[in-house]
Amino acid sequence: MAKQQKKSDVQPEPLTGEALLRKVKDLEHLSKEEKARECGYYTLTKNNVERVNMMKFLNALIDAEGIELDGRQLGNGRGGRSASYRISVQSNGNLLIGAAYTKQMDLQPGDEFEISLGRKHIHLRQVEPGEELEAS
């Protein structure tokens, strides 16, 4: 006979990404353990004892911040996902440079670039604030 779950036994899905970062910021007055619990990083044991999973919580925070702890691997090492430095033209004709690249360069919203086109390349050069763009 299967054990029936009480309403209190149903655990919420742990928060990730931007939602996790917003929630942690809202809970700045709480301890680390309380933040982890409020963000859904806990389990209930057979005896209905709550256990906070700090390791999963802290790893989710690191992922949400986009921090790469493993560093860059050379050769064919096994280092998880990394930026591929390749993009494709989208169906609407746009080229999208992902957040992995902008975070790596510490770019902020509003940063500007000068675009120069070559026969088989597009060159982006970051323009410093107040710098005039070169006339082509």
> Confidence band (pLDDT; 50, 70, 90) for 5?
very low
pLDDT digits (tens, 9 = 90+) for 79-90: 545 566 778 888
pLDDT for residue 37: 93
Structural tokens at position 126: 């970051």
pLDDT of 3 strictly over 80: no
